Amino acid sequence: MSTFGTHFRVTTFGESHCKGVGCVIDGCPPGLALTEDDIQPQLTRRRPGQSNLTTPRDEKDRVTILSGTEFGHTLGTPIGLTVPNQDQRPHDYTETDLFPRPSHADWTYLLKYGLKASSGGGRASARETIGRVAAGAVAEKFLKEAYGTEFIAFVSSVGKVAMPFIEEQSETGVPSEEFVEMLSTVTREQIDAEATRCPDKEISKKMTQRIIDAKEANDSIGGTVTCVIRNVPTGLGEPCFDKLEAKLAHAMLSIPATKAFEIGSGFGGTQVPGHLHNDAWVQKTGRKGQKFLGTKTNFSGGIQGGISNGENIYFRIGFKSPATISQEQQTTSYGGVEGVLATRGRHDPCVVPRATPIVEAMAALVIMDAVMIQLARHGAASLLPPMPETPLRPAPFIMSVPGGQAIKVDETSKPKTE
């Protein structure tokens, strides 16, 4: 389906070579200050033609808000966002009329729908993610203003060239203290300073060369993107089937070219005994001096029992090498005749540098939807007579950011910040 979310619902539309792409957002709270300037930066970070490491397709990806706002604020009604396609070249895809591209979606779309877009990747193209990024920017702004939540994604490996923490974890099974500290401090400015979107300058140089080598060979290479979500409200996630990590995995694996997802210690954590892997509870002091429970380590990745515990949420996504390459490939036509496919077109030799804002956007959509669900639950509960307080049930609250602000429900069931 083309719709994601339950309370904050996003429907994307458009194909790679149609007149335009975009999305409709349903469920955005009213009163959020919102203009195109709030959305454009993330689309600009995603757009093609940024450097010699990406596809040369020249799209400006300028967004227009069609509906859902007035005088620069959201109305609470559906928000329509659109971005025109301006640099399509359908004639570059005539070969795919005869041959389905190896490892691409040409054949499977034909099997499912009985026809497919005649050029480009249709809905399987990364152009579809423009709607996701636009909607994610709206969700991200709300969460930043309401809770101070931040979404930071960066390239952690290209091929076998990887940031040191990946090799370190392969040896120890758990993330290092240096890596966990970096997750708390790394910024988008540091990440965007490198064309690879890797904040480690020395590793970035090696990644750049690896991508250039693939490009010059008319080939492609894959990589991984690591994402951290900071200042996450507690209590998010819907056990048992919509646990927060399950929703994040769903979101990330819906992005084109993704092949793997791990959260917290991930697969490395399977090698570590429980007494070393368990995150012990400790009392921490917040920015305003208040005491709260946190974890000494964060191998869980900020989620336990499918519910956010207030620590940083971090995860890593694996992206395969792009399927469309300009080498001749021995394959078979739609009619079953063996032949050679030599594709043209303009394609990324590696998708991970441009994938970082897509990952951030999908993470923001997951957290935004979870926040809306939790607010609805506690808003409804606030209409009931209060239950007596017990040591295991303190005064009711909706959610809080440890060390930051708490959101409570008053007698009118409207959230307020304290």
Q: What confidence tens digit (pLDDT) does each residue in 157-194 have?
A: 999 999 999 989 989 999 999 999 999 999 999 999 99
240 preceded by cis ω (within 30°)? yes
Write phi, then psi, for 401 (nearest 5 degrees).
Answer: -105, 110
What's the mean pLDDT in 273-282?
96
- The beta strands (E) that lie in 160-235 are given as 161-162, 223-230
Helix segments in 148-185, DSSP class H? 164-172, 177-185
Mean pLDDT of the chain: 90
What's the mean pLDDT in 371-376?
96
**Is a pLDDT exceeding 60 seen at residue 396?**
no
Q: Which two tokens stand for residue 407?
A: 């959101």
Q: How far apart are CA 121 and CA 104, in angstroms?
A: 8
What's the mean pLDDT in 38-54?
89
Q: Would you report the helix, strand and coil content of the chain in percent, each value rounded to 5?
A: 35, 25, 45
Q: Are 226 and 164 in contact (CB under 8 A)?
A: no
DSSP string for residues in 306-343: TEE-SSPEEEEEEEPPPS--SSEEEEE-TTS-EEEEE-
HSE toward the beta carbon, residue 339, CA cutoff 13 A: 15
Q: How far apart are CA 351 and CA 46, in angstroms?
A: 10
CA-angle at 179, arms to 173 and 180, nearest 5°: 95
The pLDDT of residue 315 is 98
Which has the closest alpha carbon to 376: 23, 29, 99? 29
Burial class (CB in 10 A: 0-12, 13-18, 19+), 92: middle
Write phi, then psi, for 74 (nearest 5 degrees).
Answer: -70, 145
Q: How far apart are CA 390 and CA 176, in angstroms?
A: 38
Q: How far apart are CA 371 and CA 233, in angstroms?
A: 8
What's the mean pLDDT in 25-29?
98
pTM: 0.92
The pLDDT of residue 416 is 42
Residue 250 Cα to chain centre, angstroms: 10
pLDDT band at 373 (very low <50, low <70, confident <90, very high): very high
Which has the closest alpha carbon to 47: 37, 60, 65? 60
What's the mean pLDDT in 198-224?
97
pLDDT band at 125 (very low <50, low <70, confident <90, very high): confident
What's the mean pLDDT in 255-282?
96
Please give the span between the terminal C-alpha atoms of the chain, in angstroms, as a whole number: 39
Q: Which two tokens stand for residue 335?
A: 């009619």
Highest-pLDDT range among 273-282, 326-335, 398-407 = 273-282
Burial class (CB in 10 A: 0-12, 13-18, 19+), 265: buried
Q: Which two tokens stand for residue 154?
A: 């960066």
The pLDDT of residue 387 is 82
The pLDDT of residue 117 is 79
In the sheet that holds 258-263, the strands lie side by side as 161-162, 150-158, 223-230, 313-319, 258-263
The pLDDT of residue 120 is 66
Pairing of the two strands 291-295 and 307-308: unpaired
Q: Which two tokens stand for residue 325?
A: 């390459």
pLDDT band at 365 (very low <50, low <70, confident <90, very high): very high
What's the mean pLDDT in 147-155?
97
Active site residues: 17, 104, 348
Helix segments in 195-300, DSSP class H? 201-216, 244-253, 274-277
Residue 68 Cα to chain centre, angstroms: 24
